[in-house]
Structure formats: structure tokens, C-alpha cells
Amino acid sequence: MSNDGVDLEKRRFLTLATAGVATVGAGFVAVPFLGSWNPSEKAKAGGAPVEFDLDKVEVGQMVKVKWRGKPVFVVRRDENAISQLANNASELKDPDSAVETQQPSYVDKATRSTRPDIAVIVGICTHLGCVPQHKKETEVSWGGGFFCPCHGSKFDLAGRVFSGSPASTNLVVPPYRYLADNTILIGEDEGEV
């Protein structure tokens, strides 16, 4: 066979150019395909810890934060509210927070927090999963806390359930830790890094 009339340099160039375009094309197809194996941003955020600035919460106020799709109540308690926690112990089902699965071991059993003035509580009623409403001390006769309007469960400002309520256990305290004096990380225990 004769190579008469065939430009070998041109053929090599076209072969290399075609291979280069095919390689780039394969990369454009492979990157989105391989990227689809990663969890979505929504899935990552669903279980990720949430950083919260406590400067957003004034004394006596509650702010709702979303963590793992659940409402988390962050409450700044004043001295009166903190002293009320000790006064209503005789009216509670579990004043000593004996159900260990309801709060991390490092929180104080009476205030159910690491700092008396800040409460961090999952806002889901332990009766049937409703979201209780925050009630200030001045709005109710029982010292304030949380009230579930669906079935009448009452919780104090530490999330402890009152006797006579349909809910059987205290509200859950999620794992959390302080990153700074006024910044908490909800979803990560003390000592974790």
C-alpha cells in the first residue's frame, strides 16, 4: 500500500485533536455524575451542628432555631425566672431530671443548662410531638415556660413537665457547647472538636 497523497502530519494532528476533545467531553460528563454521589446541601445541613449568636436573645425572650429539622428554643432567663425554677419543684413530674436520655450529662439538673441564664431546649412536646408555645412569667400563673395547646401539657422554663400534664417526660435538651461567651454550637457536645 502506498501512502501517496496522504498527509501523515495532518492525520496525527486530527487524531490527537479528536482524542483531546473526547477526553474533555468525558470530563464534562464525569464531573456531574460523580458529584451526584455526594449528599445534597440539604442533607448535609440536616444533621450538621448549628451555630447561634446569643446576642440575638434579650432577657425574657425566646428565639427559635432549627436543628435537624426540629425547633430548638433558646431562652435567656432573668434572676427571677431562675429562682422560680427552684420554687416549682414540688409541682413537677421529674424535678431532678432523672430521665438521663432527656438531657446531656454535663447540664445542671435543676436549670437543665450549662449556664443558668441560657436554656437550650428542643421544642417538641414529649406527649404527641406538638410544638409548645413560649409563655412569659407575666402571661401565666405558673411562672412561665412552655404550654402545648393541643393537649394542655405545661413545662417550666427549664423544660421540666408539670404534674397533671399529658406529657410524661421533660422536654429534651440537645447537645450543645459554647464556642465563646455569646456563641453556642447546637448539636455538638462539650469537649467535642
The active-site residue out of 151, 164, 182, 192 is: 151
Q: Is 127 part of the annotated catalytic residue set?
A: no
Q: What CA–CA distance (Å, rounded) separates 158 from 56?
A: 19
141 CB contacts (<8 Å, ≥6 apart)?
none
Give the CA dihedral 92, 96, 102, 107, nearest 10 degrees.
130
168 CB contacts (<8 Å, ≥6 apart)?
93, 126, 127, 161
| 3-state SS class at 12 | helix
In 10 A of CB 39, how many CB atoms?
Answer: 10
144 CB contacts (<8 Å, ≥6 apart)?
81, 84, 135, 136, 137, 138, 156, 157
Ranges of H-type helices in the chain: 8-35, 41-47, 79-87
Q: Give the residue numbers annotated as catalytic, written as ranges.
A: 151
